Chains A and B, each alone.
Chain A
Amino acid sequence: MAVSDPAAVHAVLRSHFGDAIGDLAGTRPDNAGTTVAPSAIVEVCRFLKTETGLAFDCLSNLSGVDYPKRNIIEVVYHLYSYRYRHLFVLKVEAPRDNPAVSSVAGVWSAAEWQEREVFDLLGVTFEGHPDLRRILMPEDWPGHPLRKDFVEPEEYHGISTSRESLLKT
């Protein structure tokens, strides 16, 4: 039987993983989710994918958010079930100075490139990822541009990165 209500999904997770699961956050069925302890993320994902009645067979999006004030980087997983048409959101917090999260590429292979993107733009290391390289920026790019404190380099291979604004008169 399908567990379509986010609160029910959360309750199932709580009963299986206990303290590794945070409180239910979000009110609408399409944004409700919970935080997960970093150590449990792979197990939680595998459970959500394989458990009858949950069947989150699609990782629709894997992204990251930088929170300098809280000194964390949050990795966000948006899950969807084609079978039951329900959604759930997982969030994992990682320390900002050395963010490392276990890779879920073994659960959904779609995670492989999305994790590479989060690595590229935010510098999160995904442990156990089969091929963790930059995906968008050039290999020799300095830093991770979606971090709030990223400073754009003055030039890249001799190409200056600034231009006088055309709007100023």
Chain B
Amino acid sequence: MSLINTAPEMALTTKIDDFLNWTRKSSVWYMLFGLACCAIEMMQTGGPRADLDRFGAAPRATPRVSDLIIVSGTLTLKMALRTKVLYDQMPDPKYVISMGSCANCGGLFQLAYSVCDGVDKVIPVDVYVPGCPPRPEALTEGLIKLQEKIQQERWLVRKPVAANA
């Protein structure tokens, strides 16, 4: 079979935007940010049974190479300040999944003096996963939802210039 002057048997056409988004959503590296019991469930999600790696999501131990931070667990006020620092260290574009009732709204500890009731008070959240704790399936669903969001983003469209600029 000659490789020269033959058309490939299959070709895909796509938009550059879609292609870029497809590559991005297929390699969402998430930072391990286990704060309480939900972290155990997040480990399960990364483990062989739920296997988040199937979606290209690999756990990272540092914010500097992460695209996603999964806040899993009870956020104390002391930790809230550090969460902000870690989030600021992540390179753009970056995403946040708030996992479990505690990260969503403080959960059953929201009246405690030391608990920050909701991670959205410190950093912007993209996907909220309810549950106490959410099952690995739920967190996987959260990641898929985030992938849908990433797929719809538009980077190459020129933003309209403001009239008075």
Asked if A pairs with B, the answer is yes
Whether B152 sits at the interface, judged by CB under 8 Å, is no
Interchain pairs with CB closer than 8 A, number: 33
Instruction: Tell whether A163 pairs with B106 under 8 Å between CB atoms, given A145-B114, A152-B113.
Output: yes
List residues of chain A with CB within 8 A of the CB of B118.
Answer: 163
In the complex, how many angstroms separate the beta carbon of B110 from the nearest chain A beta carbon? 6
Q: How many residues of A contact B (CB 8 A)?
A: 14
Whether B50 sits at the interface, judged by CB under 8 Å, is no
Determine if A160 and B121 form an interchain contact, defined as CB atoms under 8 angstroms apart.
Answer: yes
Interface pairs (29), CB distance under 8 Å? A136-B114, A137-B78, A137-B114, A138-B77, A138-B78, A138-B81, A145-B113, A145-B114, A150-B113, A152-B113, A156-B77, A156-B80, A156-B116, A157-B80, A157-B81, A159-B77, A159-B116, A159-B121, A159-B122, A160-B121, A161-B77, A161-B113, A161-B116, A163-B105, A163-B106, A163-B110, A163-B117, A163-B118, A166-B105
List residues of chain A with CB within 8 A of the CB of B113.
Answer: 145, 150, 152, 161
Q: How far is the CA of A163 from the CA of B114 in the complex (A)?
A: 14
Q: How far is the CA of A162 from the CA of B114 in the complex (A)?
A: 11
Q: How far is the CA of A166 from the CA of B110 in the complex (A)?
A: 11
Report whether over half of chain B's contact residues are helix, strand or loop; otherwise say mixed.
Answer: loop
CB contact between B117 and one of A136, A145, A161 (< 8 Å): that residue? A161
Q: How far is the CA of A136 from the CA of B76 in the complex (A)?
A: 11
Report whether over half of chain A's contact residues are helix, strand or loop; otherwise say mixed.
Answer: loop
Q: How far is the CA of A152 from the CA of B116 in the complex (A)?
A: 12
Instruction: Tell whether A159 pairs with B80 under 8 Å between CB atoms, given A145-B114, A150-B113.
Output: yes
The 7 closest A-B pairs by CB, nearest first: A163-B117, A138-B78, A145-B113, A156-B77, A152-B113, A159-B121, A159-B80
Q: How far is the CA of A160 from the CA of B106 in the complex (A)?
A: 12
List residues of chain A with CB within 8 A of the CB of B106.
Answer: 163
Taking A138-B77, A138-B81, A163-B105 as known contacts, 10 extra A-B pairs with beta carbons closer than 8 A to each other, sorted by chain A number, are: A137-B114, A145-B113, A150-B113, A156-B77, A156-B116, A159-B77, A159-B80, A160-B121, A161-B77, A163-B106
Q: For chain B, residues 91 to 145, give those with C-beta under 8 angstroms from any C-beta of chain A.
A: 105-106, 110, 113-114, 116-118, 121-122
Q: For chain A, residues 114 to 169, give those with C-beta under 8 angstroms from any C-beta of chain B.
A: 136-138, 145, 150, 152, 156-157, 159-163, 166
